[in-house]
Amino acid sequence: MKQATQNARFKKSFAISDSPERVFRALTAPDELRSWFAEHAEVEPKAGGVYGFWGTLTPWTPRECATQRIIRIDPPRLLSYSWRWRELDSTVIITLDGSSKHTNLRIVQEGTGKVLDSRENTEFAMLDFWRLSIGNLRSFLKNGKAALRPNFENKGDRVALSIEIEAPAAAVFRALTDPAQMDKWISTKAAVEPRAGGTYNYGWKFGDPPAHCGPHRFLAIEPGKMIEHDWDHAKEPTSRVRWEISEIGPGRSRVTLTHLRPAEDDSTRGGYIAGWGAFMHMLKQFGENPEATDLR
Cis amide leading into 20 (omega within 30): no
Which band of pLDDT confidence, cut at 50, 70 and 90, is reported for residue 262? low
**Superfamily classification of domain 6-143:** START domain (3.30.530.20)
pLDDT tens for residues 6-50?
799 999 999 999 999 999 999 999 999 999 999 999 999 999 999
**Contact at 8 Å (CB) between 32 and 131?**
no
* Among the ranges given (155-164, 213-222, 251-260), the one the predictor scored with the smallest mean pLDDT: 155-164
pLDDT digits (tens, 9 = 90+) for 88-133: 899 999 999 999 999 999 999 999 987 777 888 889 999 999 999 9
CA nearest 84: which of 100, 48, 60, 107? Answer: 60
pLDDT band at 1 (very low <50, low <70, confident <90, very high): very low
Give the least confident one: 5-19, 31-45, 138-152, 204-218: 204-218
What's the CA gap between 197 and 237, in Å, rounded?
19
Question: Please, what is the Cα angle at 158 between 182 and 279, to 5 degrees?
Answer: 25
The CATH topology of domain 158-288 is Alpha-D-Glucose-1,6-Bisphosphate; Chain A, domain 4 (3.30.530)
Burial class (CB within 10 angstroms; exposed 0-12, middle 13-18, buried 19+) of 82: middle
pLDDT level of residue 222 (50, 70, 90 thresholds): very high
Judged against a pLDDT cut of 80, whether residue 207 lies above it is answered with no
Q: Where are the domains of the chain?
A: 6-143, 158-288
Question: What confidence score (pLDDT) does residue 264 get?
Answer: 64
pLDDT surpassing 80 at residue 274: yes
Residue 4 has pLDDT above 60, yes or no: no
User: Quick one: how far is CA 248 from the chain centroid?
Assistant: 24
Whether residue 263 is predicted with pLDDT greater than 70 in this model: the reply is: no
- What is the phi/psi pair of residue 284, to 5°? -60, -45
Lowest model confidence (mean pLDDT) among 160-164, 212-216, 269-273: 269-273
pLDDT score at 267: 65
Identical fold, 6-143 and 158-288: yes
CA dist 19 and 9 (Å) reads 27
Q: Among 93-97, 209-213, 243-247, 277-281, where is mean pLDDT lowest?
A: 209-213
